[in-house]
Amino acid sequence: MALYRDQQVTGQKYLVRATNQGFVSHNNLSCPCADARSDVRAVALDMSAMNKVLEFNDDRETVTVQAGITFEALERTLLDYDMSLPGVVVAPQLGSMTVGAAIVTSAHGSSLVGPATIAPFLQSALMVDGTGDVRLLDTPGEVLEGSLGLLGVVTEVTMYVQRKKKMAVRQIQSEDFDLVADLRDIIDNSEALSLDVMWNPTAGMYQARVWHFTDVASRGEARNAQLQPPADWLLQLPERVHRDQLDLMDREGHMCEVIGEMSHFPAFSHVSAQDKDETVPQDTAIGWLNHMASASCAGGATAATAASRPPHGGPLAAAGSCLLSAAKWTPYELAINSQDFSAWLADARAILRHARGCPPFVLNFRFVGESDAPLALSSGRQVVAIELSTLSSHKANEQGLHFKFARLHEEIVQMTLCKYSGRPQWAFATNRLLLGPCPVRDLYGASFDQFLDQRVLYDPAGLFTPPLFNDIVERRVAPHSTGCAARLECFCTADEHCGPHHECVPGYEFPEYKVCAPATDKSKHEL
């Protein structure tokens, strides 16, 4: 309120962003930093201490929490009260996100029978708007999901809960000859509640995890372990990834080995050898929904862990660190209309046929139901969220080297973004995705304008609007400079954007999209 009044009286401009200690962002939407202009003062609100559970209401089956509590801590606390979130929000990467951040970025899991995000489970929320007024929102999901903190600071939410549930999760590994038909068969005939899929096109294989409720008396205490492979393997990973990145001709096959090993690590761990029922098939894990549906790096990678990394990105000192911190992990996730999935898969296969080796990424698919919120990832349509996150070397990154097979990845990303109107996931999108060749604003159609009208209502002075969002509104593209594509700051339009020993060339299957590729020696073609 004080900042709003000062801006009205003196004209001093402010930028206010809510954040928390240990927060990591891949774009500048959440950045509490000022505009390049010197007349804007930046204010960061540290929400870390607002992490309390305020009230359980058994009669209404609700819990009220402060917005700074992490998703993982909420699930753990609910289990202490023999409760869980309603539905099946299978969201491994939400574990370390705060509830407030998960809501306003439309962070999601995968669900076939209901919402895959937290927002639809909200009964009410308290938010401080851009004038300092405290608003009680009685339809918070429709207002807050995907709002990016541009409407105000969410301080607490009340959400519905249910009695704790046990899950039986079957893991299927199969060849990918007819992947779409296989997934459709699972969805139509297995009565699955949730499905998440990892596809390794180079190996011609996929893994599907199929989720069902099971009897609470079933024996099993499995926990999600997707982000936490064996510690000794993680310690070796940075150097193996670096060797692969330097092996341009892929003579050694380092990445093929890494991805092959990753695909065989169990997705779930067991608390003890005695907790698994011997009558349960080997490919099935049983445990409480609270433990199986989310995971994070909280048990391993911390700020201290990152600080202990040797110079030039050597192995992490902490043996317990997780996959997202052992090497350079760059997130890419785009959500396409579920009706386009089959056609998209065919196009992706065509591009990946040009790989002579194993690209440093696999593809993960999650399923998200339609939302009414204007900037929700699934606003107005059911979507398949496609994750193409890459592993690369910290050392190579510092040297300005492209990750191997960058040209294939860049072609798939631009094809997904432009041909299939793939919406970048707000929490994980990099700046160059949000300012890519096809404006994000247009991917939302009229609902984007609806949100802009809503924003004026809650934040008339624009206190919560970061410069990057203004760039999205104005349909600006990422600025181009020498080597910007190698630094993952832009998509190339000229050779200089790719840096040394690379050139900007048309894509293999979609020449309208320019990609960076190793420069060819044209002298051998001369007569």
3-class secondary-structure state, position 414:
helix
Beta strands (DSSP E) in 34-160 are: 40-46, 53-57, 62-66, 83-84, 122-129, 134-137, 152-160
Average pLDDT over residues 285-293: 90
Strands (E), 271-410: 284-288, 328-330, 333-337, 363-368, 383-387, 390-392
Q: What is the DSSP string of 225-267?
A: -TT---HHHHHHHHHHHHHHHH-TT-SS-HHHHHHHHHHHS-S
Tell me the pLDDT of the chain averaged across its residues.
87
The Cα 109–Cα 118 span in angstroms is: 9
Q: What is the mean pLDDT of residues 129-143?
A: 95
Measured CA distances, 445 to 436, 441, 442, 498 (Å) = 17, 7, 5, 32
Going from N- to C-terminal start, the domains of the chain cover: 1-163+430-478, 166-297+320-426
30-44, 166-180, 233-247, 351-365, range with the lowest pLDDT: 30-44
Cα atoms found within 13 Å of the Cα of residue 329, Cβ hemisphere only: 18
Residues 6 or more apart whose CB falls under 8 angstroms from that of 465 comprise 15, 150, 455, 459
Rounded Cα–Cα distance for residues 187 and 110 (Å) = 12
Question: What pLDDT shows up at residue 314?
Answer: 35
pLDDT at 16 over 90: yes
**Residue 317: is it exposed, middle or buried by C-beta count within 10 angstroms (0-12/13-18/19+)?**
middle
CA end-to-end span of the chain: 74
Please give the CATH topology (third level) of the domain spanning 1-163+430-478. Answer: 3.30.465
Q: Do domains 1-163+430-478 and 166-297+320-426 have the same CATH topology?
A: no
Instruction: Give the integer Cα–Cα distance in Å for 164 and 147.
Output: 30
- Pick from 391, 386, 460: which is nearest to 429 by CA? 386
At 149, which amino acid appears? G
Q: Which whole-number Å values give the CA distances from 1 to 43, 127, 152, in the listed order?
A: 13, 13, 12
Give residue-wise pLDDT tens across range 249-276: 788 889 999 998 888 888 888 776 556 6
- pLDDT, one tens digit per residue, over 88-131 is 776 766 778 889 999 999 999 899 988 899 899 999 999 999 99
- Between residues 211 and 304, the one the model is more confident about: 211
Q: Which residue has the higher pLDDT, 93 or 170?
A: 170
Between 6-20, 136-150, 314-328, the lowest mean confidence (pLDDT) is in 314-328
Question: CB under 8 Å to 112, separation ≥6 — which residues?
Answer: 187, 192, 193, 194, 195, 367
Integer-rounded Cα Rg, in Å, for the chain is 23
pLDDT in tens, 402-448: 888 999 999 999 999 999 999 999 988 999 999 999 999 999 999 99
Q: Is the dihedral of CA 324, 109, 162, 184 positive or negative?
A: negative
Distance CA 379, CA 375 (A): 6
Res 305: pLDDT: 33
pLDDT of residue 311: 34
Per residue in 502-524, pLDDT tens? 999 999 999 999 999 998 754 44
pLDDT beyond 90 at 209? yes
Q: Tell me which residue has tokens 């209309």.
A: 337
Our CA angle for 177, 182, 186, nearest 5°, is: 165
pLDDT at position 423: 97
- Quote the CA–CA distance of 118 and 311 in Å, as a whole number: 39
- The H-assigned helical ranges of 366-421 are 394-398, 406-418
pLDDT of the residue at 189: 87
The per-residue pLDDT for 321 is 66
Assign domain 166-297+320-426 one CATH number from 3.40.50.2300, 3.40.50.1820, 3.90.550.10, 3.40.462.10.
3.40.462.10
pLDDT of res. 404: 87
